[in-house]
Amino acid sequence: MAKYFKTVMTHFSRYLPPGRVTNNDLSKLMDTNDAWITERSGIKERRFVEEPIATSDLAIEAVKKVLAESNLKPADFDYIIASTLSPDYYFPGIAPIVQHKLGFPTIPAIDIRVQCSAFVYSTQLADAMLKSGQYKRILLVFSDVQSKLLDLTTNGRNVAVLFGDGAAAVICEAKECTQEEIPQASNQSSGVIDTILGSDGVGAEMLLLRTPGTATRGFLSPETYENGDWHPKMDGRVVFKHAVNRMCEVAETLMARNKISANDIACLIPHQANLRISEMVREKMNLSQDKVFNNIHKYGNTTSATIPICINEALEEGRIKKGDLVLTVAFGAGFTWGGSLIRL
């Protein structure tokens, strides 16, 4: 009989650093206020790391939690996929640092750079690798420390108020199954059902951290440092419009090609960029508020980690449970975007 593999996401974890930064705290650093931030983004507070914590340190905390939760050891894994836009070093990435510091065997460890679309891109990659039968268990790691990059003055206020630091980890396992058990929206088999990814570099300059980089004369110069080119810059209105359009587009395509309606979905988990973006996607999909999970008010936009942090928290709060059909949609710098349909 033919042998098939499906990808099951067995465990999720999250780690948020303890340092709470409220909107009022930010208003002491720049010309902003709680009313503006709450109305435009839904954010009330976020977490910032303290020195000398780096991105891999947050990742390691999230991985320790997922290992404890699953009772698995580093030796049980055969691949690490990490996602971040704020690595400890320009190179190498954080995946080999996590591998070494937590005593994983010398397994492959890569970083992918798709910013806020990390969860959907990692899911698609891990799913292809596990379904092929080449790997058995992949660790996904998501971690970002944006607080050290932000311009925490009035000049950078349109970006600085949106982001927080955070990390998450997910265990993906290959499970052998029959043809009938390949996950589909129409059966009850748990696993990754479908993913859609996209990109358009037309948006590269609309949301970027320009330097250090080889497009900069001298890679990193006193001038670019003085200009503040080492802070993320964003055309917020353009990003907003593209984010809503692409997130709605992937949700509609995933529903159409899997022959489901919004009613069949237990929960929509949008990338936590901005509550207004999530609300617009929800309204376009005609979903009630209880069918969408948001936690941006507590953590801000944690970049690569928002969706797995949400799934972990939604499971813990009983908002979703094993066996539920979950739709995730994401949009990020690049531009990159995507969605995934998963039965937990």
Q: Footprint of ligand ACO on residues 75-114 (CB under 6 A)?
A: none
Main-chain phi, psi angles of 218, to 5 degrees: 80, 5
Q: Which is nearer to ligand ACO, 33 or 216 (CB)?
A: 33
40 counts as binding ligand ACO under rule CB under 6 A: yes
Q: Which of 69, 115, 321 is nearest to 234 (CA)?
A: 115
Please say if 267 is a catalytic residue.
no
Q: Which of 118, 125, 160 is nearest to 143 (CA)?
A: 118
Structure tokens at 105: 């065997």
Structure tokens at 185: 């929206």
Q: Footprint of ligand ACO on residues 118-157 (CB under 6 A)?
A: 157
Site string for ligand ACO, 264-293 (x = CB under 6 A): -------x-xx-------------------
Please say if 310 is a catalytic residue.
no
87: preceding bond cis by omega (within 30 degrees): no
CB 204, min distance to ligand ACO, A: 13
Site string for ligand ACO, 300-339 (x = CB under 6 A): -x-----------------------------xx-------
Please say if 301 is a catalytic residue.
yes
Residue facing ligand ACO at closest CB distance: 236
Given the DSSP bridges, would you call strands 79-83 and 233-234 parallel, antiparallel or unpaired?
unpaired
| Of the residues 38, 70, 158, 258, which one makes contact with ligand ACO according to CB under 6 A | 158
Q: Which of 87, 133, 146 is nearest to 112 (CA)?
A: 87
Catalytic residue among 23, 294, 301, 312: 301
Beta strands in the chain (DSSP E): 4-15, 20-22, 45-47, 79-83, 109-112, 137-144, 166-177, 191-199, 207-208, 233-234, 267-270, 325-332, 336-343
Structure tokens at 16: 């948020």
CB atoms within 10 A of CB 256: 10
Give the whole-angstrom CA distance, residue 327 versus residue 278.
13
Given the DSSP bridges, would you call strands 191-199 and 325-332 parallel, antiparallel or unpaired?
unpaired
Q: Footprint of ligand ACO on residues 176-235 (CB under 6 A)?
A: 207, 234
Per rule CB under 6 A, count of chain residues that contact ligand ACO: 23
Q: Which span sits near ligand ACO by CB under 6 A: 47-55, 84-92, 127-135, 236-244?
A: 236-244
Q: Which is nearer to ligand ACO, 10 or 272 (CB)?
A: 272
Q: Which is nearer to ligand ACO, 38 or 258 (CB)?
A: 38
Q: Which span sits near ligand ACO by CB under 6 A: 35-43, 139-147, 170-178, 218-226?
A: 35-43
Q: Which residues are catalytic?
A: 116, 271, 301
Binding site for ligand ACO (CB under 6 A): 32, 36-37, 40-41, 116, 157-158, 161-162, 207, 234, 236-237, 239-240, 243, 271, 273-274, 301, 331-332
